[in-house]
Structure 1
Amino acid sequence: MLTTVSPPWVYALRLPRDPRSAGLARRAVRAVLEAHRLGGLGHDAGLLASELVTNAYRHTEGSYGLRLRAPGRGRLRLGVWDTSPEVPPPFSGLPRRPDASAEGGRGLCLVAVCADAWGHSALPGGGKLLWVEVGGSR
């Protein structure tokens, strides 16, 4: 029996410090997923990319970017790095619902709903990487 193994893939995109970067990230994620026949992950992955990039745009003055890779068949790990060392919820602990009067904080709560796994890591020289995975069974 001949088995075909798909090579692992990784995409990285440095994004401009621009409010339209979230839309660019969402479109890039959907294009990559379509190219790898993972279009079914496009809605959740696009939403997550948009939220993480928006967070980077709003909370850091430095550069930021998007990284996509396939950790396994039918899965996507999406990461957004930036220059801020501060880790937002739900990445720093259990997800919490913002107060009804809060003007922000709802976007990252979507991570807890849409992602199968999430985490963060500090980057050498400062900054952080926030990552999410989709494509598992919820």
Structure 2
Amino acid sequence: MIKKYEAGTLILRVVLGLTFFIHGLVKFQSGIENIAGWFDAIGLPGFLAYGVALLEMVGGIALLVGFGSRIVSALLALLMIGATLKVKLAVGFIGDGTMGAGYELDLAFLAMALFIAINGSKMLALDQILFKGQKSSN
């Protein structure tokens, strides 16, 4: 039972990590200045775009290797709450057909991040190697 649970959690951690890493990478590759300008246009300080992209990239890598998974997942959950409330909520659950997707995917990422933040993910996690013998918060 424990192995199945940990294997399932590992799958969530890796998929979430890979997805956020790619989202952050694309923000930098497509021109982070454009994202900063869009943040300004929706009423957020443009410099937050850099923080969001960095959190997505570094947090994604951390999840992939299992380093600080609970903390990183909590931060990503907060990011998803902010994105949903500020941007996606207005277009509805599946979108309105004109402004792109709704918040259904954000909600799924939020649920995944909350699960890992609450339960941790120990299987194949760097934390387990680095902090072996110590009580893990992961």
Is the pair's TM-score, using the shorter chain for normalization, greater than 0.5?
no
More helix, by proportion: 2
- The structure with the largest alpha-carbon Rg is 2
TM-score normalized with structure 1 length: 0.33
TM-score normalized with structure 2 length: 0.33
Which has the bigger relative contact order, CA under 8 A and spacing at least 6? 2
More strand, by proportion: 1
